[in-house]
Chain A
Amino acid sequence: MADLSVRIGEVALKNPVIAASGTFGFGAEYAPIFDPGLLGGICSKGITREPREGNPPPRLWETPCGLLNSIGLENPGIEAFVREVLPRMLELGTVVIVNIWGREPEEYAYMAERLDMTEAHVIELNLSCPNVPGAGLPGANPEKVAAIVAAARAACGKPLWAKLPPEGDLIGAARAAAEAGASAVTVANTFRGMAIDIRSHRPVFANVIGGLSGPAIKPLVLRAVYEVAKEVGIPVIGCGGIVGWEDAVEFIMAGAHAVQIGTGSFIDPLCIPKVIAGLGAFLEREGIGSLEEVRGCAH
């Protein structure tokens, strides 16, 4: 079996395939399908300081090869998460990445400090959720990214990954995240999109805008990963439309250290184990010793 292990800053992953935030619950939900211990890592659902009920239905809308969602960060809040959920995630046998979202740098700092007292391996700063009513989109703005990453950096010693939106000044935001102390950037979150119900004459989502994911966005995100990997000196984690192992190879050749899979698991619940197996088989077939040999080779 080929060596698929990767290092992202301080963290070693057994393979470069991570379950994306909000698509894999807290891990146990997929246990009847496959062992979550196979994963390179698992990102938790986005956690906020206080519990959130999320948005009213409908929360999902299909588009050609894509999926719009408007979940709205439904989660139990940081305190219940740390006490009731995190201990079980830490037993899954994979790297646990806790995804957090706040309105202000102080909220990120509060949660980062709380998580610093736990065994969580990584904190992923969600700088890009499109689905909170009235919250705007902080991630596209390098100054806001710098302020949030710096606040979290000062509050904890854990590795920080900055999950950025695909829109706005992405290169500037990625540079700002690196300078403020992030060990990696996740490129990217969903694209802001919408759909209109032509019978009711209204947007399908109560919050009007949803986040577009799935194979429809893959070429767009691949381009973004390619550019960020070229311009910014910290590891890039590619996330957007990956379904098959070939997609994952493309992201690695574009310069990604790892990939996250979200909507792919909805298309095929065995998507993640198939991508891991497919990557291993690819390296062996091509006589490639490690992912490092092909990482960024498309540049």
Chain B
Amino acid sequence: MANREIAPGIFLLGVRGKFAASPGQFYMLRAWELDPPLFRPMSVFALEEEAISFLYEVRGRGTGILSRLSPGEELLLLGPLGRGWDPPARPLALVAGGTGIAPIHFAAQIYGGDAFLGFRGKPYLVESFADWCRAVHVASETGEGGTKGLVTEIFRPEGYRTCFACGPEGMLRELYRLCSEAGVPLFVSVEERMACGLGACLGCAILTSRGPRRVCADGPVFPAEELWGDG
């Protein structure tokens, strides 16, 4: 197990061993006893023959503890969990903002496609997308390492038959507006606080056009129109 700070407050946690996952699925992580009570759900960033990795931002006590883990310390992983992205109709566009690049990177690893990545400041891990993607476009709000602006300003959905995305809700909603205008199906990975991770407690449920859906078991990937469509 190894933890690497790849940007201020943003860590890439790699674990050695045989793991399984399909793009968009997540694991529940834990490296403490009673407190904080809950595991931390994390999308898979990359899966290899003998390793798995997770990308996360330190936001509270749980991610703080994870970021201070050293090789040899105990880490519990529960997974793979949830429903991810099914194989897409191509060409495929992959759009991500900030740490939302985590599941999008794993999708790129399996499905390829063109990547559009947005960052607040200096971009990170862009080079690892180049291994899997036909093209990698980068935007940053400061203009460092890419076009100055938002990822939704450099992405045009025309010509794509599917779009996968993960990032802040504002970005995803704007993307949904762009994709629905162009008639491109959009599938987004969303985040919610979780307790069981197994679909039992309904703590992560969100309201959709199909009624309440569990992010952990029915998602985390949903067709965007179920979340924000007119019904």
Residues of A within 8 A of B (CB): 22-25, 29-30, 32-33, 45, 53-54, 56-62, 64-67, 69, 71, 74, 214-215, 243, 263, 265-267, 269
Contacts and interface: CB of A to CB of B under 8 A. Distances in A.
Contact of A64 (B35, B192, B205, B206): B35
Contact of B205 (A59, A66, A265): A59
A29 B196 contact: yes
Contacts of B37: 62, 65-67, 214-215, 263, 266-267
**Dominant secondary structure of chain B at its interface with chain A:** loop
Given A67-B37, A214-B37, A243-B34, A25 B199 contact: yes
Contacts of B217: 29
**Dominant secondary structure of chain A at its interface with chain B:** loop
A69 B203 contact: yes
Interface string B17-52: 000000000000000001111110000000000000
Contact of A24 (B36, B192, B200): B200
A227 B192 CA distance: 39
Contact of A215 (B34, B198, B206): B34
A58 B200 CA distance: 16
A264 B202 CA distance: 16
Interface residues of B, number: 25
Contacts, number: 92
Contacts of B172: none
Contacts of B204: 57, 59-60
Contact of B193 (A54, A61, A215): A61
Interface of B: 34-39, 78, 192-196, 198-207, 211-212, 217
Given A67-B37, A214-B37, A265 B202 contact: no
Contacts of B198: 25, 29-30, 32-33, 269
A263 B201 CA distance: 10
A54 B192 contact: no
Contact of B203 (A53, A60, A64): A60
